[in-house]
Amino acid sequence: MSAGQVLISRDEIRARTLALAQEVTLALPPGPVHAVVILKSAIFFGVDLIRALGREASLGFLFASSYGDSAESAGAVALSADALGRVTGQNVLLIDDILDTGNTLAAAAETLRALRPASLRTCVLLDKPSRRQVPFEADHVGFPIEDVFVVGYGMDFGGRFRTLPDIRVYRQEKK
Ligand code: IMP
Ligand code: MG
């Protein structure tokens, strides 16, 4: 089993993240932002994006786990909000690595909205529009991609490949 060819290189990720950070900063209301990163897979992107925002930011985390095998989202998403921080009345930026079926971000946005933030924007590095099961669009998207399973830069297959610096198409080696 190994990760396949590079889909998005570390240099492309870096350049796009800096541009996205500018775009997000321009769209945010003035003042501090509460950035909420969905763990674990958005950790690398979240850190890089938040550091590039021209804003004072407080940090919160949502831990998402979906049931089913690692390459197919089963639709049900369990969210743990223990480390969410203060959302009520704040300008919140919700950050995820990939918008796939939409189940995770739809559930995360609903959790946050229930806490009545002053505003809520969403930013994802990757978007697979062809995979959507629930209607959800992110306000800011790094790269739209085809229906391929990717690993690296925080994204895993069964817990592996998260620390690869580039985003690669995952492939299962034939035995
Ligand atoms: P959704 O709930 O189906 O939109 O899935 C979102 C989550 O599934 C993302 O935050 C990822 O962690 C994971 N995911 C979706 N597609 C991929 C992929 O191609 N590689 C690795 N993780 C993925
Ligand atoms: Mg994720």
Angstrom distance (rounded) from CA 87 to CA 84: 7
Angstrom distance (rounded) from CA 64 to CA 107: 10
pLDDT at position 2 is 75
Contact by Cβ (8 Å): 121, 139:
yes
Give the ligand 1 atom nearest the CA of 133: 3
Give the ligand 1 atom nearest the CA of 99: 4
Q: Which of 61, 66, 98 to mutate to test the pocket of ligand 1 (most atoms within 8 A of CB)?
A: 98
Q: Is 100 a catalytic residue?
A: yes
pLDDT at position 174 is 55
Ligand at shortest distance from the CA of 146:
1
Residue nearest (by alpha carbon) to ligand 1 atom 9: 98
101: its two tokens:
């079926």
- Ligand 1-lining residues (CB < 6 angstroms): 38, 41, 66, 73, 77, 96-105, 149-151, 155
Q: Which of 100, 128, 147 to mutate to test the pocket of ligand 1 (most atoms within 8 A of CB)?
A: 100
pLDDT at position 65 is 80
Which residue out of 48, 96, 100, 166 is catalytically annotated?
100
Exposed e or buried b per residue across 42-60, where buried means at least 16 C-beta atoms within 10 angstroms of its C-beta: bbbbbebbbebbebeeeeb
Long-range contacts of 150-153 (CB under 8 A, 24+ apart): 150/7, 150/98, 150/126, 151/3, 152/3, 153/10, 153/13, 153/44, 153/45, 153/97, 153/125
Predicted TM-score (pTM) above 0.85:
yes
157: its two tokens:
């297959």
Q: How far is the CA of 98 from the centre of ligand 2 (A)?
A: 6
Q: Is the peptide bond before 174 cis (omega within 30 degrees of 0)?
A: no
pLDDT at position 132 is 95
pLDDT at position 81 is 81
Listed in sequence order, the DSSP H helices in the chain are 10-27, 43-52, 103-113
Mapping DSSP to helix (H, G, I), strand (E, B) and coil, where does residue 13 land?
helix
pLDDT, tens digit only, all 175 positions of the chain: 578 999 999 999 999 999 999 999 999 999 999 999 999 999 999 999 999 998 999 999 999 986 555 556 556 678 888 899 999 999 999 999 999 999 999 999 999 999 999 999 999 999 999 999 999 999 999 999 999 999 999 999 999 999 999 999 997 655 4
Length of the chain: 175
